[in-house]
Structure 1
Amino acid sequence: MNPSLHTVASGQQRSYRIFHIMQPHFGTVWHYHPEMELHYVIRGEGIRFIGDNIDYFRAGELILLGANLPHVWHCRENNAEHMTEAVVLQFLPECLGSDFLDLPEAWQLSRLFERARKGILIRGRHKEKIIGLMYEAQTATGLQRIVILLSLLKVLLESADSKSISMTQGFSRPGETECRRLNLVYDYIFSNYKDNITLNQAAAISNMSAANFCRYFKRLTHRTYSAFLTEVRVNQACRMLIAGKHAVEFISYECGFNNPANFYRHFKLLKGVTPLEYRQQFSPVKI
């Protein structure tokens, strides 16, 4: 996939943007923007793409995205019966002034912003503090907005229980034609992952030969077409395993694998555990 540039409207005389999303989906276009972004999922589940990472997401996830980091949250359903909900805060790294990061007291922020270029999954005891401050920011006015932003940055610096998401932090910024081409392929894969999607079919969507498509896809996504498709299927399986409604063999076929043994092998390779072990991690503890 190739990301498209999104322009974020900050509003008049506002140093950052905070908004509450409640709609059938979070958007389906792989994109990037110069603003950093705190993204808290209140409701919804599906697969998220951040940089070169593909993973399952669900309610309760809190992520910090760095400037110009490509991303999209592709939700499980796209209708009013399965609404998604999130609180999103977006700010430019220099929103507090071009010299702010040069202050002796702010030297750690540059490191945080650099690390955020790979995306940061925030966990642990500081997570609830950050979420609370995001809710406060929605109704704050005047100087209190700046106080809350500074408090957010302070808690983010103190949050030790977090991990980087993407392996790569540098991404090319393509033109509009390339964006449309890769987003078409992305939408096709996501809509048809249950089927036997061939390389030639994906190449035809992008109007390229199979050989050119392979080189093009790997250059832009940092993985082969087959590896990308496998990751989408495995992460769809994660959702079904957590739901706990179907047997593993049924899930393997439902997610596009031609046999359970192949599914087990790819799942263990990508997740580090077997499908059954993964399901047990989310099973209620029996007392």
Structure 2
Amino acid sequence: MRAMCEKVIPSNNSSWRYCKYSLDYIPFNWHYHPEFEICLTLNSQGVCHIGDYIAPYDDLDLVILGPDLPHTWQSSPNSDNSVQIVHVAQIPKKWLSQHVSNHPELAVLEALLIASQRGLKFSRQTAVIAKQYFEKIEASEPFEQYLGLLALLREMSKEHSARMLSSSTFSVSTHTHQAHDKFDKVIDYIYRHYTETLCAEQLAIMAHMSTNHFHRFFKKRMERTLTEFINQLRIGHACKELINTNRSITAISDQCGFKNISNFNRRFLMLKGATPSEYRKRLRQKSLV
């Protein structure tokens, strides 16, 4: 069965991505991505698939996965209808590897990252500690989240009884497709042209899908609609312009691909919790402190 390549977008103002999922159940979603992943699953029971490893999992399931290692968890709804929680940290391979190689203090993480290529499962004791770190990360600003991530990795590196999951004979290259498929090429196209007018119908043709199928497939793969994805890219670009230039907000709105200033202000407020002018003023005040 072919694993689906997942596109990972870092969290706002971060080099990596943290996400907390609250689910009635965990659907089977066999996928991979080029990032390292730390996954803590709570209040859930089901079957875990990592590489060629398939086994039951229970509450407080803590795993680290290396880049491009196919994986999924799968569960049914809890008998008491309680919510299942999944904390996920996805860390770009190049960014983390350079951190470890360029900073002697982080050399203690090297063995952990190497072993993660096959997937590592940790004890309940370490999972309890990881839960505390994830709860702090969830409630923190990006700088504190970054420190929390490094502390979590260090804590995981201390456990010498962590169990490797996928076999040494499992070959990632035979179970994943490193070359971009048609949908991945569409995503790359959006990254290159998101400040321009983009038509869903044309993107669907590029992906060899009907427009309706493309919209459904896009939301499943990217965890947001096409419009939400494009707006996130445009607002991210606008933030850089507001911080690094003195250009007018109207000019920045036009440059980022918004058809009118009202729509730009509304989208910006929705994603950043402030208007563009408030955002620029707040950052400039901070820089003067």
Range into which the TM-score falls when normalised by the shorter chain: 0.5 to 0.7
Task: Report what 2:22 is aligned to.
Answer: 22
- More relative contact order, 1 or 2 (CA 8 Å, 6+ apart): 1
Task: Report what 2:171 is aligned to.
Answer: 170
Task: Report what 1:133 is aligned to.
Answer: 133
Task: Report what 2:88 is aligned to.
Answer: 88
Task: Report what 2:228 is aligned to.
Answer: none
Task: Report what 1:13 is aligned to.
Answer: 13
CA distance in 1: counterparts of 2:78 and 2:127, whole angstroms: 28
**TM-score, structure 1 normalization:** 0.55
Task: Report what 1:209 is aligned to.
Answer: none
CA distance in 1: counterparts of 2:67 and 2:99, whole angstroms: 18
Report matched runs for 1:11-50 at 5 Å: 11-50=11-50
| Aligned-residue offset at 1:136 | 0.6
On the 8 A contact 2:60/2:127 being kept in 1, the answer is no
Structure 2 residue matching 1:74: 3-state secondary structure? strand
CA distance in 2: counterparts of 1:55 and 1:151, whole angstroms: 29
Report matched runs for 1:147-162 at 5 Å: 147-162=147-162
Task: Report what 2:53 is aligned to.
Answer: 53
AA in 2 matched with 1:86: V
* More off after superposition, 61-70 vs 7-16: 7-16
On the 8 A contact 1:41/1:60 being kept in 2, the answer is yes
| Aligned-residue offset at 1:72 | 0.8
Report matched runs for 1:97-136 at 5 Å: 98=98, 100-123=100-123, 125-136=125-136
On the 8 A contact 2:120/2:162 being kept in 1, the answer is yes
Structure 1 residue matching 2:98: 3-state secondary structure? coil
RMSD: 2.9
On the 8 A contact 1:44/1:82 being kept in 2, the answer is no
CA distance in 2: counterparts of 1:176 and 1:24, whole angstroms: 32
Report matched runs for 1:227-238 at 5 Å: none
| Aligned-residue offset at 1:68 | 1.1
AA in 2 matched with 1:107: A
Structure 2 residue matching 1:94: 3-state secondary structure? helix
Query: For each residue in 1:261-280, what CA deviation from the matched residue of structure 2 results, as whole angstroms up to 9, or x when unmatched?
Result: xxxxxxxxxxxxxxxxxxxx
Structure 2 residue matching 1:89: 3-state secondary structure? strand
On the 8 A contact 2:14/2:142 being kept in 1, the answer is no
- The change in CA–CA distance for 1:97 and 1:45 in structure 2 (over 3 A counts) is closer
Structure 1 residue matching 2:20: 3-state secondary structure? strand
Task: Report what 1:193 is aligned to.
Answer: none
| Aligned-residue offset at 1:97 | 7.6
On the 8 A contact 1:124/1:161 being kept in 2, the answer is no
Q: How many residues align?
A: 179
AA in 2 matched with 1:171: V
Task: Report what 2:212 is aligned to.
Answer: none
CA distance in 2: counterparts of 1:13 and 1:59, whole angstroms: 31
CA distance in 1: counterparts of 2:18 and 2:109, whole angstroms: 20
- The change in CA–CA distance for 1:134 and 1:167 in structure 2 (over 3 A counts) is same
AA in 2 matched with 1:110: E
- Unpaired stretches in structure 2, ≥5 consecutive residues: 182-289
On the 8 A contact 2:13/2:142 being kept in 1, the answer is no
Structure 2 residue matching 1:12: 3-state secondary structure? coil
Task: Report what 1:252 is aligned to.
Answer: none
| Aligned-residue offset at 1:117 | 0.9
Structure 1 residue matching 2:69: 3-state secondary structure? coil
Task: Report what 2:76 is aligned to.
Answer: 76
Report matched runs for 1:215-234 at 5 Å: none
